[in-house]
């Protein structure tokens, strides 16, 4: 460990409104990951404030942060992070197991609903290794949805997927956004940003661009426009 | 509710890694199984040594009058001629003592046993039916005499093997025959099993046992008794029984505090010390084996849990990112360790009980599975799970979620 203090983010200030679909763009070293950790309440800013759903994150303890993540944030990771040898159903139930206020029957209902929302209601008992990459990511999205979070935080969620499957996942995100979900999508791919309603670009720890996207592309249409493989 | 969820989480995690859980458990299973089987073998040998020692009469007490009464010119007379022990003493012992379970008065005489043309010099001992219990002396054939025979001074007897060999043809069954001892006819109602020689080379089978009343009235013409035999309830209470019997006899003999005992109570001190040192040795040996096996099992748990924390770093990171607190992770790992050790403990107990039965069946070694060994090893096992599971669990709970998520 060096003693040199690296400031990953400097003077960053923006707010995310309910129902927005934001992409945070930036090349590696731009402070993207630190931004994600702070937004996801995995880390606290050394100075400045972060208000999540009107809660000042800086004042919270480690345990309170965990609880906040459990109730208000849904994570979607690049590598899905599903528990191996565990059914889709049990993977989706996982966040609810850390919420003592939810009964067993409620938990089952909510998990089934979340899997229906990602169109996997026919794969409840499938294990991750019996699912395709896109399906695994949809299980992960269902897991992020299940606790009805105020924000879904996706970290390069399409990074491991091929173009077609990426469009499928983006179509799903767009649909969830249409239903009112707030989505923050961290990525370095410019064409992914085209699907969002607003793009924040980071460089060397500073916001260099923050603009509304006037011309939102529909992932569904893109998917339909792809050449069909008939081999 | 919260704990219930954590148990569910831990069980699901174990189910995902059945083989690893089983292999961890195997250490405990073998540890506990070995402890149960070892202790069973040890207890079995202890019990069989105990049984052998008690057939030698390790818990027998002998009460004789003191021979320090002087007759006439200062010469001390033989203890068997002293008349201080009576049936009242025997009755007092029977009713008042807590540490003895059988008492028999005894009188004896030497004489010639005669059957038809054959004769043999031997000893007749007058006792009550409890004497066979005290000496741990089963019959080879026939039956023992009863209390009615004692009350009626019946002319019945039990004969030792040496007597049988010397006055009967090998083909004859002595039971039911009439022999004469010092011209008095006795009907043989039973034959004693062979005891062989005692430690001093005396032939213990060269004896005839008859009701003590018969010997008192018809042979010796006395009313006092020469010796009292008693058996302590077990080897360990011999000393207490000695004290108690001395007290009872001092009371019945109306001795003042400043008067010496007019009797002596003797125990089989040598046998008892052999017995206690043997069983102590076995106990220490077994405790050492038990301790080592369980320690190894515990280290096995710690080892696997420790490796599994590293291996499952990413899982821990995920759990933390979706809202697991440090304490949730700690409890999850701890519950996993406890479930493994307790399940292993239960299987281990079964394994131990079954293998001791197999050992008995195949090697015909005596085994004895004691309840205390089961309970003890089970408790040790649960404690081991908590103790050795805690450190890795704590390590897991201290992980930083960001680093854990990024761990490859």
Residue contact A69–B321, C-beta within 8 A:
yes
Question: Average pLDDT in the B146-159 region?
Answer: 92
Q: Let me know: does B333 contact B393? Beta carbons within 8 Å.
A: yes
Q: How far apart are CA B217 and CA B357, in angstroms?
A: 54
Which CATH class name applies to A21-187+195-225? alpha beta
Sort out which chain A residues have CB atoms less than 8 A from B17's CB and list them.
85
B328 and A95 within 8 Å at the Cβ level: the answer is: no
Query: What's residue A142's pLDDT?
Result: 95
Q: What is the mean pLDDT of residues A122-150?
A: 93
- Tell me the nearest-neighbour CA distance from A212 into chain B, angstroms: 30
Chain B residues within 8 A of A85 when measuring between CB atoms: 16-17
Rg of chain B, C-alpha, whole Å: 34
DSSP secondary-structure letter at B126? E
Residues of chain A found within 8 Å of residue B12, distances taken between Cβ atoms: 86, 90
**Which of A63, A85, A147 shows the shortest C-beta gap to B16?**
A85
* B126: nearest Cα among B99, B153, B107: B107
Report percent pLDDT > 70 for chain A: 97
> What would the DSSP string read from start to end of B174-207?
-TT-EEEETTEEEEEEEEEPP--B-TTS-BTTSE
Quickly list H helices, A46-162.
62-72, 88-97, 104-117, 133-145
Q: Assess contact for B25 and B352: CB atoms under 8 A.
A: no
- Reference B100, options B266, B235, B199; nearest CA is B235
Residue A85 DSSP class: T
Candidates B385, B295, B378; CA nearest to B336 is B385
Taking CA–CA distances from B5, the nearest residue in chain A reads: A97
Please list the residues that pair with A152 across neighbouring strands: A74, A183
Any idea where the domains of chain A sit in the sequence?
Answer: 21-187+195-225
ipTM confidence score = 0.91
User: Do the chains contact at A66 and B320, CB–CB below 8 Å?
Assistant: yes
Selected residue of A97, A105, A152, A153 to mutate for chain B interface (largest B Cβ count, 10 A): A97
CA torsion B338-B339-B340-B345 (nearest 10°) is: 90
More confident residue, B43 or A120: A120
What are the Cα distances from residue B129, in Å, to B24, B28, B139, B178, B331?
Answer: 59, 52, 12, 20, 66
Least confident range from B17-31, B213-227, B278-292: namely B278-292
pTM of the model: 0.70
Q: Which of B404, B120, B61, B322 is nearest to A91 (CA)?
A: B322
Using one digit for the tens of pLDDT, what is the confidence trace for A35-86? 989 999 998 888 888 998 888 998 899 899 999 999 999 999 999 999 988 9
| A-B contacts (CB, under 8 Å) | 65
Chain A window 98-157: which residues touch B at a Cβ cutoff of 8 Å? 98-100, 143, 147
In this prediction, residues B56-82 reach a mean pLDDT of 71
pLDDT band at B74 (very low <50, low <70, confident <90, very high): low
A171 with A221: CB under 8 angstroms?
no
Q: Which of A37, A70, A90 sits opposite B322 (nearest CB)?
A: A70
pLDDT 10s digits, B209-250: 999 999 999 999 898 899 999 988 877 788 888 888 888 988
Å between A2 CA and nearest CA of chain B: 17
Q: What is the mean pLDDT of residues B255-274?
A: 79
Residue B104's beta-bridge partner residues?
B229
Our CA-based measurement puts residue B393 at a distance from the nearest CA of chain A, in whole angstroms, of 17
The whole-number pLDDT of residue A1 equals: 45
Per-residue model confidence (pLDDT) at position A149: 92
Tell me the three state secondary structure of residue A65: helix
Q: Which of B70-84, B141-155, B158-172, B327-341 has the lowest mean pLDDT?
A: B70-84
The two structure tokens encoding residue B348:
């281990």
The answer, yes or no, to whether residue B378 has pLDDT greater than 70, is yes
Q: List beta partners, residue A116.
A: none
- What pLDDT score does B1 carry? 45
Residue among B8, B16, B327 whose CB faces A83 most closely? B16
CA dihedral for B66, B67, B73, B74, sign (positive or negative): negative
Length of chain B: 408
Taking the CA atoms of residue B55, residue B57, residue B58 and residue B63 in that order, the dihedral angle to the nearest 10 degrees is 170
Please state, for a pLDDT cut of 70, what percent of chain B lies above it: 94
Please give the helix or strand (H or E) that residue A55 lies within, else none. strand A55-56
pLDDT of residue A231: 47
Is residue A14 within 8 angstroms of chain B, CB to CB?
Answer: no
């Amino acid at each position: 460990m060096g003693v040199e203090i690296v400031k990953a983010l400097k003077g960053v200030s923006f707010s995310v409104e309910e129902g927005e679909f934001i992409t945070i763009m930036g090349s590696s070293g731009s402070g993207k990951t630190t931004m994600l950790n702070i937004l996801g309440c995995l880390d606290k800013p050394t100075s400045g404030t972060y208000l999540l759903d009107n809660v000042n994150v800086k004042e919270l303890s480690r345990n309170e942060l965990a609880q906040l993540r459990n109730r208000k944030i849904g994570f979607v990771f690049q590598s899905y992070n599903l528990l191996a040898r565990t059914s889709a159903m049990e993977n989706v139930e996982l966040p609810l197991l850390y919420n003592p206020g939810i009964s067993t029957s409620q938990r089952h209902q909510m998990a089934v609903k979340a899997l229906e929302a990602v169109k996997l209601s026919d794969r409840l008992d499938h294990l991750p290794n019996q699912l395709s990459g896109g399906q695994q990511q949809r299980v992960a999205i269902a897991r992020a949805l299940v606790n009805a979070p105020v924000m879904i935080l996706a970290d390069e969620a399409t990074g491991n997927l091929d173009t077609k499957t990426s469009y499928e996942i983006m179509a799903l995100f767009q649909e969830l956004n249409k239903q009112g979900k707030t989505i923050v999508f961290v990525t370095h791919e410019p064409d992914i940003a085209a699907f969002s309603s607003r793009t924040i670009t980071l460089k060397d720890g500073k916001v260099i661009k923050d603009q509304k996207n006037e011309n939102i592309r529909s992932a569904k249409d893109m998917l339909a426009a792809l050449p069909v493989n008939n081999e | 509710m919260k704990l219930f969820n954590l148990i569910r989480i831990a069980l699901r995690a174990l189910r995902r890694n059945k083989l690893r859980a089983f292999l961890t458990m195997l250490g405990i299973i073998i540890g506990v199984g070995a402890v149960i089987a070892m202790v069973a073998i040890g207890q079995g040998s202890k019990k069989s040594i105990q049984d052998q020692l008690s057939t030698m009469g390790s818990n027998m007490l002998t009460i004789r009058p003191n021979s320090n009464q002087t007759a006439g010119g200062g010469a001390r007379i033989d203890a068997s001629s002293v008349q201080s022990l009576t049936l009242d003493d025997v009755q007092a012992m029977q009713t008042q003592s807590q540490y003895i379970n059988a008492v028999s008065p005894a009188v004896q005489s030497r004489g010639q046993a005669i059957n038809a043309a054959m004769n043999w010099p031997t000893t007749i001992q007058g006792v009550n039916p409890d004497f066979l219990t005290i000496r741990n002396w089963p019959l080879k054939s026939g039956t023992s005499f009863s209390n009615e025979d004692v009350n009626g001074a019946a002319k019945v007897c039990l004969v030792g093997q040496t007597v049988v060999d010397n006055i009967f043809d090998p083909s004859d069954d002595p039971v039911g025959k009439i022999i004469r001892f010092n011209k008095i006819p006795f009907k043989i109602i039973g034959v004693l099993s062979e005891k062989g020689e005692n430690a001093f080379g005396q032939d213990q089978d060269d004896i005839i046992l008859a009701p003590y009343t018969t010997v008192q009235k018809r042979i010796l013409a006395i009313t006092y008794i020469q010796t009292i035999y008693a058996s302590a309830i077990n080897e360990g209470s011999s000393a207490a029984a000695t004290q108690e019997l001395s007290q009872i006899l001092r009371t019945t003999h109306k001795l003042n505090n400043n008067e010496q005992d007019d009797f002596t109570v003797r125990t089989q001190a040598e046998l008892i010390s052999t017995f206690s040192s043997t069983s102590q040795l076995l106990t220490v040996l077994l405790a050492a084996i038990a301790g080592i096996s369980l320690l190894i099992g515990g280290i096995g748990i710690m080892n696997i849990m420790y490796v599994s924390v590293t291996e499952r770093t990413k899982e821990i990171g995920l759990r933390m990112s979706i809202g697991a607190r440090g304490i949730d992770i700690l409890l999850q790992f701890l519950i996993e360790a406890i479930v493994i050790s307790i399940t292993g403990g239960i299987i281990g107990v079964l394994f131990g009980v079954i293998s001791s039965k197999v050992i008995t069946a195949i090697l015909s070694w005596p085994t004895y599975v004691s309840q205390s060994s089961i309970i003890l090893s089970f408790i040790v096992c649960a404690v081991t799970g908590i103790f050795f599971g805690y450190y890795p669990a704590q390590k897991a709970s201290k992980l930083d979620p960001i680093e854990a998520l990024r761990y490859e």
